[in-house]
Amino acid sequence: MVNLVTNNFIRLQNFFYILLAATFMALFLNSCSKGDESAESKSAAKMTNAISDSSVKKQAETIALVMKTLTNPFFLEMEKGARRAEQDLAIKLVVKTAAQETSIQQQIGIIESLIQDKVDAIVIAPGDSVELIPVLKQAQDAGIVVINIDNQLDPDFSDKFGLKRVPFISVNNEIAAYNSAKTLTQKIKSPTKVAILEGIRGAKNAEDRKNGAVRAFQEQPLATLVAMESAHWKIDEGFAVTRQMFVDYPELGAVFCANDMMALGAIQFLQSTGKTDVLVASYDALESAVNAVKEGKLVATVDQQAAEQGYQGILFAHRALSGEVLPEITLIDTRLITSDNVN
């Protein structure tokens, strides 16, 4: 009987040891499992973060600003506005310019390179309203958003080549030029021969400014428009063309220039020949032109907010890439600068 009890006790003791060992083993395995799960969870989290970071990098839009030149301070201001948009929108901005405002083929080559680079959007201030349309159509076909600023692409040629819905951001060049030339005509007190220095013929902004000035001269009965010549937006050509105008019409009394660069050239000629009684008005509000207004050498100029045009161009490209439908034409306010309000 004692042996039976002893044997049962030993069996019970052995069972307890086995149960204890099994419990310990289960706890150990569970702890290892949790450690593995934690490691796997951390690894998965790292992978998710890496994918997220990569996605953010891929989503950083590359927007190109293509301007006519940087020899004109107007476009330096435009770039400043675009750079501000780059910071505000956290996009990558690429700025490209041609050598001169007449370097149309160079602008075309720049856009061809941007297509190869697969940028997301192109904001273009075209040197010509027609010639860049085919290559911009190629950009659209490659899935690149196109935004037009400063000088409008010709709507009829755009339709002809299949360039679709390109939002345009600028100012009302016709009205702003009219106001500048009107300020000049208000100072005419006797019969006076007048002339116009045009921009690049065929460019929409140049044509609009010329038409605005023509309208202002036509409204002044004392003004007789005798000459209209292009100086291609350039200061040296402004000097040369003005000189030739005075050879042809020595009694010229007033000149409207479609931008400040040409006006500064005209003023240089007038100063070099001692002609102090010729009225000159212009367009763009470059710092040197504003100073000329202060000094009484220039009757008026127009601030068309170049920096704001650059900023809005980049903003519109960003909005278009987000799928937003944009207005076809957006006009920014201008400010006429005369001796009455110049700072």
Query: Considering the domain boundaries, does residue 287 fall inside one?
Result: yes
Mean pLDDT (whole number) for 91-105: 93
* Least trusted range by pLDDT, from 90-104, 207-221, 240-254: 90-104
Q: 283 lies in which domain range?
A: 173-303
Say yes or no to pLDDT of 49 above 90: no
Same domain, 236 and 154: no
Same domain, 95 and 193: no
CATH number at residue 299: 3.40.50.2300
Same domain, 117 and 156: yes
Confidence band, pLDDT 50/70/90 cuts, at residue 10 = very low
Proportion of the chain above pLDDT 90, given as a percent: 79
Confidence band, pLDDT 50/70/90 cuts, at residue 70 = confident
Residues 6+ apart with CB under 8 A from 335: 285, 302, 303, 305
Say yes or no to pLDDT of 34 above 90: no
pLDDT tens digit sequence for 323-341:
999 999 999 999 999 999 9
Same domain, 237 and 179: yes
Mean pLDDT (whole number) for 190-200: 97
Question: How high is the pLDDT of residue 1?
Answer: 40
Query: Considering the domain boundaries, does residue 158 fall inside one?
Result: yes
Confidence band, pLDDT 50/70/90 cuts, at residue 141 = very high
Question: How high is the pLDDT of residue 6?
Answer: 40
Confidence band, pLDDT 50/70/90 cuts, at residue 61 = very high
Mean pLDDT (whole number) for 2-17: 43
Separation CA 253–CA 185 (nearest Å): 10
Same domain, 163 and 179: no
Query: Considering the domain boundaries, does residue 244 fall inside one?
Result: yes
DSSP conformation class of 230: E
One-character DSSP codes across 260-325: HHHHHHHHHHHHHHT--S-EEE-SS--HHHHHHHHTTS-SEEEE--HHHHHHHHHHHHHHHHTT--
Separation CA 221–CA 215 (nearest Å): 12
Question: How high is the pLDDT of residue 55?
Answer: 41
Separation CA 82–CA 292 (nearest Å): 28
pLDDT tens digit sequence for 106-132:
999 999 999 999 999 999 999 999 999
Question: How high is the pLDDT of residue 50?
Answer: 42
Same domain, 296 and 313: no
Same domain, 139 and 190: no
Say yes or no to pLDDT of 303 above 70: yes
Query: Considering the domain boundaries, does residue 30 fall inside one?
Result: no
Query: Considering the domain boundaries, does residue 12 fall inside one?
Result: no
Same domain, 282 and 211: yes
Say yes or no to pLDDT of 59 above 60: yes
Confidence band, pLDDT 50/70/90 cuts, at residue 292 = very high
Averaged confidence pLDDT in the chain: 88
Same domain, 80 and 160: yes
Domain count, the chain: 2
Say yes or no to pLDDT of 136 above 80: yes
- The residue ranking higher by pLDDT, 30 or 69, is 69
Look up residue 340 and give its two tokens: 């009455």
Question: How high is the pLDDT of residue 238?
Answer: 98
Strand order in the sheet with 62-67: 92-97, 62-67, 121-124, 145-149, 168-170, 329-331
Same domain, 147 and 209: no
Same domain, 161 and 238: no
Say yes or no to pLDDT of 7 above 50: no
Look up residue 37 and give its two tokens: 């799960």
Query: Considering the domain boundaries, does residue 338 fall inside one?
Result: no
**3-class secondary structure, 151:** coil
Separation CA 66–CA 318 (nearest Å): 16
Query: Considering the domain boundaries, does residue 265 fall inside one?
Result: yes
Proportion of the chain above pLDDT 70, given as a percent: 83
Same domain, 95 and 198: no
Mean pLDDT (whole number) for 270-298: 97
Query: Considering the domain boundaries, does residue 51 fall inside one?
Result: no
